[in-house]
Amino acid sequence: MSVKLSIIYYSSTGTNYQLAQWAKAAAEAKGAEVRLVKASETAPMEAIESNPAWKEHYEATKDVPEATSDDITWADALLFSVPSRFGTMPSQMKQYIDSQGGLWATGQTINKVVSAMSSAQNPHGGQEATILSLYTSMMHWGAIIAAPGYSDPVLFGAGGNPYGTSVTVSGEGEMQEDVKGAVEHQVNRTLDITSMVVNGSN
């Protein structure tokens, strides 16, 4: 049975979009059906236009579909990728999650397998806390959290975050750790766990 995976990301300058693209390629290589969608931009245009990198990325990804409730109900598994905003997920992703009360109230978020990735400008700039903030919401959803833990040596070279892949990004937008392998492992682990859940429930 093919696993259906929705990769839901928010990215202002491109880091989490890149993580999401690596995840999509890894999931498709494993045979999953994949949707790659973004949380809607809610920042005012004056804020976006005041940051050249933000504006460039905003324009470059206009064709990426915006996430809807259907991307949750369709999927067996959800992979989120978000930057840190003061140690929590950005408001754009929080708005998306907060708008799913109808799905939650009717039990449509229960037993979705969920994993998450993040980024920050400093190694201790909220990478872990950001993922945990998202997982807190997922516990309320009744989701099954598929954290990578220390299930593969590739995770140590990527910074060793057991909650999900995270990366430090310089002021110039460059990733400071090589995390592509960690993303691929996290995706494979998420799909393996999802397959167990889906096959076990049928």
Whichever domain contains 39, its CATH number is 3.40.50.360
H or E element in which residue 89 lies: none
pLDDT tens-digit map of 164-175: 999 999 888 888
**β-pairing verdict for 166-168 and 113-120:** parallel
Q: Which two tokens stand for residue 149?
A: 């833990």
pLDDT tens-digit map of 98-119: 999 999 999 999 999 999 999 9
Residue type, 26: A
Vertex 131 angle, CA 130 and 133, to 5°: 65
Domain that holds residue 188: 4-200
Give residue 200's pLDDT: 87
- Rounded-to-integer distance, Cα 161 and Cα 164, Å: 6
Query: Per the structure, how many domains does the chain have?
Result: 1
Residue type, 186: Q
Q: What is the pTM of this model?
A: 0.96
- Rounded-to-integer distance, Cα 125 and Cα 139, Å: 24
